[in-house]
Structure 1
Amino acid sequence: MDDTAGLDVPPRLLMGPGPITVDPRVLRAMSAQLVGQFDPFMTEAMTGTMALYREVFRTANEQTFLVDGTSRAGIEAALVSLLEPGDRVLVPVFGRFGALLREIAERCGAEVHTVEVPWGQVVPPEVVEEAVLRVRPKLLAVVQGDTSTTMCQPLADLGEICRRHGVLLYCDATASLGGNPFEADAWGIDVATAGLQKCLGGPPGSAPITLSPRAVELIEARTHVEAGIRDDGDTDRGTRIASNYLDLAQVMAYWGPRRLNHHTEASSMLYAARECARLLVEEGLDAAIARHELHGRAMVAGVRGLGLEVFGDPAHRMSNVVAVHVPDGVVADTVRAALLDDFGIEIGTSFGPLHGRVWRIGTMGYNARRDAVLTTLAALEQVLRGCGAAVPAGGGVGAAREVYAA
């Protein structure tokens, strides 16, 4: 690449676990000109974005807004603002991203306990409750959809367990929000964070977040005199939040009527996040979830129609991404490279014990549509044939079309 030349991005169909091909309407929104961060248009756009994401999270939480940064910034903002050194945290781990929650909580100085199951399963609620009774945590931190395994952890029972035992519930919904059922209020979730680059159909760089009144009260009780948020002189209200940028008490004051000058809002990402939510609300949450389920089901039928085996417990698979066993005698990365070079299609590998053993194929956001599914299956068939794999002619496309015809 000539670094002095203009950027010429090659055409790609991103059918991996994320990021995905951005909806063109979101790209158009991002191209809008900037205004000042306290311009009336800007503050109205921020307020409107908060309202839209209340619908997306299905919550009445006043404190629903954006953290500037990728989805991991939202995760870190939640945990660094909720946790103090020595707090007990329980993390159900069923893939890479549960392990990430464990690491971030440990960096906050928390005493972290885990319950773990083999990759390809989810953690039964009775196992979680037994651990809650044993550990007595302040916080249960869980991933809803872990793309490393493509498993989707049921949450309603966990919310009930947390309410029964006085435990806060945090959920990382980065990979699942907008494509799988999510009910922040009905399920008793105190804090949830997400990202745009999966089912929401946008680019990475903005992290929607919602906080229950109980979580807000806990965060605001911590010391913020130096930041100008508290003015009662009480400096003995808990350990100061370690991060300034990710201090949710200050970020809430920035998004609220005070408009605290905490940071400069990432305006183009705000435009993108607003459009992602607007499109989802316009489509209807139930309709969007049904769309992801349909195209995900067609993709699963298609890979099985090619004679490939799907990884993990089918009863708890995310609707928007499927993990596919690599057939014997086929090199996983060779297939991925050929799909990219010959067809401009990207699919994913995985991590840890699954690296090189499965491909992860996403049908999410803008790419949860018929032509993207059929094109990917047709290309995958040709690449597998080129690698010497015996696959039924037209088996993938044919099986997917049967799903669409039903």
Structure 2
Amino acid sequence: MSEIFDQINPPARLLMGPGPINADPRVLRAMSAQLVGQYDPAMTHYMNETMALYRQVFETQNQWTILIDGTSRAGIEAVLVSAIEPGDKVLVPVFGRFGHLLTEIAHRCGAEVHTIEMPWGEVFKPEQIEEAIKKVQPKMLAVVQGDTSTTMLQPLEELGAICQRYGVLFYSDATASIAGNPFKTDAWGLDAVSVGLQKCLGGPSGSAPVTFSERYVEVVRKRQHVEAGIRDAHHQDSAGQIIRSNYFDIPMILDYWGEERLNHHTEASSMLYCARECARIVLQEGLDACITRHQLNGDAMRAGAEGLNLKLFGDQDHKMTNVLGVYIPEGIPGEAVRTAMLLDFGIEIGTSFGPLKGKIWRIGTMGYNARKDAVLVTLAALENVLRRMGHKLPMGEAVDRAMAVYGQGQ
């Protein structure tokens, strides 16, 4: 006899960790819209609108600004697998967990991967990256802008000019940072960018907006033509030169989004509605205003954390606006605090990975949750939990300090 389950009814949670966050209610409503066929004029119109909206989010004139159907990791893999041939040199500056992810995916593409590393909590100076580029002479520089594992924001402003000087493709994953921190695709000389929706864009995971320069598109199109010739010549033994993925084949996906609308896959319509609404909401607020809102609420959370007598993690001059790292106080059980926050107050905060596992909490203020009430409720709840677990702190100081920040920002 088959078992019948109840309808899905998730518990009420305020997601104040490093992501995902609570989706904006307008995004959830957009996702519930009825489906139409993928070649219906209404759908192709929505696709064109989505491209136009994300050009503004990415601050680019790139024609090829589209969606990869999948999580933010799908966007990363699509960018890398379509551009990298076996033996290509790729340079990855690693300053957190997601630099290691770029390294792993590039290895799987057959690249000769070179890494430079900084201690978690620090970022690279442009001259350090330039020195590595001169030494390695890579085809591509692949760097994360904002790494939630460390809460750090890698400066990118000078890297595009460096890459152009040495003929290097410049790719960045900005999933955790875009719309909450400045990101200027064209002004900074980026060739490829991939992001996700589940951070500052205020949506769920499941769609990966990407944008490509003409230089990147030329590289992957040229590779496509070469490989078509290999296949036509029946050189199956040259499989090492073939793009390994059909689903993440950027040239085929560009043909799907282009005027020809060549069939590649069935568009994830509900996620397209979702991604379109995320961008529409950000631009309705104003991109600069959205970044300022993240800065204000991030500053308030940081001031409140200091009011809880918590030590801040990492280089505060290079911290993302939208995620805060704080050391777990000595003698305080980190996971017990997170459990009490979740079960007693319905609030989720994050732990960390690798060398920071069990050492810091990560508290997010991003997307729909980058707002005053969410910050104040989180601080009040965390104060209560910490006090009951024996942490010494001044009563009411956290909310008072956050309120002072909001007073200055008004």
TM-score range with shorter-chain normalisation? over 0.9
Note the C-alpha offset of 1:4.
Answer: 1.1
**Among candidates 262, 265, 268, match of residue 263 of structure 1:** 265
Find the counterpart in structure 2 of residue 119 from structure 1.
Answer: 120
> For residues 321-332 of structure 1, what are the structure 2 equivalents within 5 Å?
321-332=323-334
Find the counterpart in structure 2 of residue 370 from structure 1.
Answer: 372
Contact 1:309–1:324 at 8 Å: present in 2 too?
yes
Note the C-alpha offset of 1:225.
Answer: 8.7
Identity of aligned residues (%): 65
**Among candidates 392, 406, 410, match of residue 390 of structure 1:** 392
For 1:119, give the aligned amino acid: W
Q: 1:234 to 1:53 in 2, by over 3 A?
A: farther
Aligned equivalents of 2:179, 2:251: Cα separation in 1: 27
For 2:66, give the aligned amino acid: F
Note the C-alpha offset of 1:240.
Answer: 2.4
> For residues 126-141 of structure 1, what are the structure 2 equivalents within 5 Å?
126-141=127-142
Write the deviation string for residues 285-340 of structure 1: whole angstroms up to 9, x where unpaired. 10000000000000000000111011000110000000010001101110000000
Find the counterpart in structure 1 of residue 222 from structure 2.
Answer: 221
Write the deviation string for residues 24-73 of structure 1: whole angstroms up to 9, x where unpaired. 00000000000001100000000000000000000000000000000000
Contact 1:120–1:151 at 8 Å: present in 2 too?
yes
For 1:204, give the aligned amino acid: S
> For residues 246-285 of structure 1, what are the structure 2 equivalents within 5 Å?
246-285=248-287
Aligned equivalents of 1:226, 1:255: Cα separation in 2: 21
Contact 2:341–2:347 at 8 Å: present in 1 too?
yes
**Among candidates 337, 347, 367, match of residue 335 of structure 1:** 337
> For residues 199-238 of structure 1, what are the structure 2 equivalents within 5 Å?
199-223=200-224
Aligned equivalents of 2:103, 2:285: Cα separation in 1: 36
> For residues 293-332 of structure 1, what are the structure 2 equivalents within 5 Å?
293-332=295-334
Q: 1:311 to 1:235 in 2, by over 3 A?
A: farther
**Among candidates 238, 241, 266, match of residue 239 of structure 1:** 241
Write the deviation string for residues 196-242 of structure 1: whole angstroms up to 9, x where unpaired. 00000000000000000000000111235998xx9xx7999993211
Aligned equivalents of 2:128, 2:186: Cα separation in 1: 23
Contact 1:224–1:240 at 8 Å: present in 2 too?
no
Contact 1:122–1:152 at 8 Å: present in 2 too?
yes
Question: Which secondary structure state, in structure 2, belongs to the residue aligned with residue 38 of structure 1?
Answer: coil
Question: Which secondary structure state, in structure 1, belongs to the residue aligned with residue 67 of structure 2?
Answer: strand
Write the deviation string for residues 367-392 of structure 1: whole angstroms up to 9, x where unpaired. 00000000000000001012111111
For 2:53, give the aligned amino acid: L
Aligned equivalents of 1:11, 1:290: Cα separation in 2: 28
Contact 1:223–1:235 at 8 Å: present in 2 too?
no
Question: Which secondary structure state, in structure 2, belongs to the residue aligned with residue 221 of structure 1?
Answer: helix
Find the counterpart in structure 2 of residue 58 from structure 1.
Answer: 59
Find the counterpart in structure 1 of residue 99 from structure 2.
Answer: 98
For 2:38, give the aligned amino acid: Q
Question: Which secondary structure state, in structure 1, belongs to the residue aligned with residue 352 of structure 2?
Answer: coil
Contact 2:227–2:241 at 8 Å: present in 1 too?
no
Aligned equivalents of 1:374, 1:83: Cα separation in 2: 46
Q: 1:144 to 1:226 in 2, by over 3 A?
A: closer
Query: Which runs of 5 or more residues in structure 2 are unaligned?
Result: none
Question: Which secondary structure state, in structure 2, belongs to the residue aligned with residue 310 of structure 1?
Answer: coil
Contact 2:75–2:208 at 8 Å: present in 1 too?
yes
Find the counterpart in structure 2 of residue 287 from structure 1.
Answer: 289
Question: Which secondary structure state, in structure 2, belongs to the residue aligned with residue 223 of structure 1?
Answer: helix
> For residues 18-29 of structure 1, what are the structure 2 equivalents within 5 Å?
18-29=19-30
Aligned equivalents of 2:149, 2:406: Cα separation in 1: 27
Contact 2:227–2:242 at 8 Å: present in 1 too?
no
Write the deviation string for residues 112-154 of structure 1: whole angstroms up to 9, x where unpaired. 0011010000011111011000000000000000000000000
Stretch deviating more after TM superposition (215-224 or 341-350):
215-224
Aligned equivalents of 1:224, 1:187: Cα separation in 2: 29
Question: Which secondary structure state, in structure 2, belongs to the residue aligned with residue 359 of structure 1?
Answer: strand
Aligned equivalents of 2:390, 2:267: Cα separation in 1: 52
Find the counterpart in structure 2 of residue 80 from structure 1.
Answer: 81
Contact 1:385–1:391 at 8 Å: present in 2 too?
yes
Find the counterpart in structure 1 of residue 148 from structure 2.
Answer: 147
Find the counterpart in structure 2 of residue 38 from structure 1.
Answer: 39
Query: Which runs of 5 or more residues in structure 1 are unaligned?
Result: none
Write the deviation string for residues 247-280 of structure 1: whole angstroms up to 9, x where unpaired. 0011111111111110000000000000000011
Q: 1:226 to 1:112 in 2, by over 3 A?
A: closer
Question: Which secondary structure state, in structure 2, belongs to the residue aligned with residue 159 of structure 1?
Answer: helix
